[in-house]
Chains A and B, each alone.
Chain A
Amino acid sequence: MTEAREEILRRIRAALTDRPEPAPVVRGYRAAGAITADVELFAERVSDYRATVVRDATPSEVLRGRGIDRVVVPDGFPAEWRPGIELVEVVEEPVDVATLDAVGAVVTTCRVAIAETGTIVLDAGPGMGPRALTLVPDYHLVVVTVDQVVANVPDAIGRLDPTRPLTWISGPSATSDIELNRVEGVHGPRTLDVLLV
């Protein structure tokens, strides 16, 4: 194994005997902080993916509206948003995959949301839970606060910790594999609701 490592590194050095000196990287694009976040644009772009954006509601109301009576809630989910237990059976962590599959719904927070692309990023921290939590259930409700919405991808990259497991979500699970037309609903949650507060 170390033999392969040494040989590949040796090959690379042999390949670069002409000592290429590439031009410096110029970041002339709209970098972090260049534009202001637009919450309306975020809502519009999320809707473009056929996710539903809800405002002026509580998580309980959204879940009730969907006819959901059991939901997985991750550790660290804020107490004030906790779905009322008279409506919802809360299944807390740790949960196994079979339970996630059986319960079929999850409510989480997020780390950051991107207006320009309609993307929500989770970092598996408190209120978001391990990655499987937002993957196996067929329904995902994510609560986004307006101060979490940033303008574009560079803004989001600046706010995220690259050593955490990150999941970037842009709409419900989809595929373009049949004649390159987008169809929602494959392996991830087929319904994504975004509650903006």
Chain B
Amino acid sequence: MTFLGLPAGSGHLHGERGFPAAARDALDDVQLRRNLGRATATIRAKRAAVVGELPDWAELRAAGAAIKDDVLAHLDEYLVQLEEQVTARGGTVHWARDAGEANRIVTELVRATGAREVVKVKSMATQEIRLNDALAAAGIAAIETDLAELIVQLGHDEPSHILVPAIHRNRSEIREIFRREMPGVDPDLTDDPRALAEAARRHLRAKFLEAQVAISGANFAVAETGTLGVVESEGNGRMCLTLPRTLITVMGIEKLVPTWRDLEVYLQLLPRSSTGERMNPYTSTWAGAVEGQEFHLVLLDNGRTATLADPEGRAALRCIRCSACLNVCPVYERTGGHAYGSVYPGPIGAVLSPQMTGVKENPTLPFASSLCGACYDVCPVAIDIPTMLVHLRGRVTESKGRTPERAVMGAAAWTMRDSGRWTRALRAARLGRLLRRRRALPPPLSAWTATRELPEPPTETFRDWWARR
């Protein structure tokens, strides 16, 4: 159920199985855990170093949160302003209520050009709506050009991280994928990252120079000027944004900032939080149709308005997709991204995906966290993910109607409301010591103890001890 009954999003936002089952499989994969452990440790150290360099990080972070809250509170006005500006500068703006509508719009736009092949810049929005599948069904090949997306595409795999979709692969696995799937690749290709990057460069060079249509996402859109921005590293983004005659950008409706000046905040927060660099190698910005290109902007809802409707959950829409929260999360580090079943994994995915789909479609994700709070500490736009997770757990419980868990929580609330009942309950809990050899509760409470140690009740309650003194 989404908030106020606003329509849910669809696409790559929930898995076939719940998080616990998928995570259990991932935990058995030793290679995966080793790859993730190494990669996240590297990026955590880099982020900490470059964030520590800025004396005004806390002020930037506060401004980054406040600007996004303003955007969300006036989202309709800013979207209309953006549309006016993009249109005035020669671009065409399209609106898509859900994944299916966005896919139809993009497919029609590509068809109109006559192109059978498009080059793509890494984009979470197009992964979310499974655009590549929709294009393939229409006979259009979508070529991912970001190195990690290319590894995922060639490996017939799914992305597992917001920034580095192939983070679950190490260099030798990547070499094997390239040797198997990349036409004309050197059979003696080594697993040196330089050689692998060079192989990707050769593989994509001709595609870039010939492409007629490119599809991108956007990191930012400036309402007052109609300026869009893409932040990247390799230059594949520049290739796609610059060379093809037609550019189609698919963007979630929350990716706005009101003014050009606001980018001075996010262009400091984002690179340091995501790749742990002072600045990413390339950032491109453009307003409308430039340098003779045809430009289309597709504005995507797909569950974002449903997220906006929950006053206690809407701050998740501040997210600028940096992935810092994934890199510090002890749960993500052990399970990897696939276990979350959504294109948005990790802590932010655990709050964003269930809100976009409605909690009924994603009932396990709000529980995919130890609530340690590391995600909140590193979030450059100060999204209080732990508090939001607890709130969403409540929504999951409500959505289930009468369940043993709800009955237990209800009974606990009833007991705790009255101090006499509470004291008696605590004494009764000492009887629980009898359970201490069992280590687990009987059904249906066994679901709780299957993944948790049952704490041993003390021999004396605090209240009894206090009364004795």
Contact = CB atoms under 8 A, between A and B. Distances in A.
A167 B233 contact: no
Interface in A15-56: 15-18, 20-32, 45, 48-49
B177 to A, nearest CB: 12
Interface residues of B, number: 98
B305 A173 contact: no
Interface in B212-261: 222, 225-227, 233-236, 238-239, 241-243, 253, 260-261
A162 to B, nearest CB: 4
B374 interface: no
A162 B227 contact: yes
Nearest to A5: B95
B1 to A, nearest CB: 15
18 contacts: A4-B95, A8-B305, A9-B80, A11-B301, A32-B264, A130-B242, A131-B241, A154-B261, A157-B261, A165-B286, A171-B281, A181-B42, A183-B194, A183-B197, A185-B194, A185-B201, A186-B200, A188-B235
- Report which residue of B79, B96, B268 has the largest number of chain A beta carbons within 10 angstroms of its beta carbon: B268
A7 B278 CA distance: 41
Given A177-B164, A179-B35, A186 B305 contact: no
Interface in B54-89: 55-56, 59-60, 62-63, 66-67, 69-70, 72-73, 75-76, 79-80, 89
Contact of A135 (B60, B227, B238, B263): B238
A185 B200 CA distance: 10
A71 B263 CA distance: 34
Contacts of B40: 180
A141 B253 CA distance: 38
B234 A188 contact: yes
A168 B235 contact: no
Nearest to B68: A22
A135 B239 contact: yes
- Report which residue of A1, A17, A172 has the largest number of chain B beta carbons within 10 angstroms of its beta carbon: A1
* B contact face: mostly helix, strand, loop, or mixed: helix
A16 to B, nearest CB: 7
Given A9-B79, A174-B233, A97 B196 contact: no
A82 B289 CA distance: 31
Interface string A164-197: 1111111111111111111101111100000000
A162 B278 contact: no
Interface of A: 1, 4-5, 7-9, 11-18, 20-32, 45, 48-49, 97-98, 101, 114, 116-119, 124, 130-132, 135-136, 152-154, 156-158, 162-183, 185-189
B285 interface: yes
B351 interface: no
A153 B264 contact: yes
Interface in B370-391: none
Given A20-B72, A187-B236, 18 more contacts: A4-B96, A8-B253, A15-B306, A26-B62, A27-B265, A29-B60, A118-B278, A156-B264, A157-B260, A157-B267, A162-B225, A173-B235, A175-B234, A181-B193, A186-B233, A187-B234, A188-B238, A188-B282
Contacts of B166: 177
B311 interface: yes
A164 B114 CA distance: 29
A183 to B, nearest CB: 5
Contacts of A15: 3-4, 6, 305-306, 308-309, 314
B305 A11 contact: yes
A162 B260 contact: yes
B301 A180 contact: no
Nearest to A114: B279
A12 B287 contact: no
A18 B236 CA distance: 43
B331 interface: no
B167 interface: yes
B446 interface: no
A74 to B, nearest CB: 13
Contact of B238 (A167, A171, A185): A167
B176 interface: no
Interface string B176-195: 00000000000000000110
A116 B264 CA distance: 13
A116 B278 contact: yes
A162 B233 contact: no
Given A11-B301, A130-B291, A187-B235, A23 B277 contact: no
Interface in B264-316: 264-265, 267-268, 275, 277-287, 290-291, 299, 301, 305-306, 308-309, 311, 314
A179 B170 contact: yes
A21 B70 CA distance: 8
Given A162-B227, A187-B239, A25 B281 contact: no
Contact of A12 (B75, B234, B236, B285): B75
B459 to A, nearest CB: 49
B287 A162 contact: yes
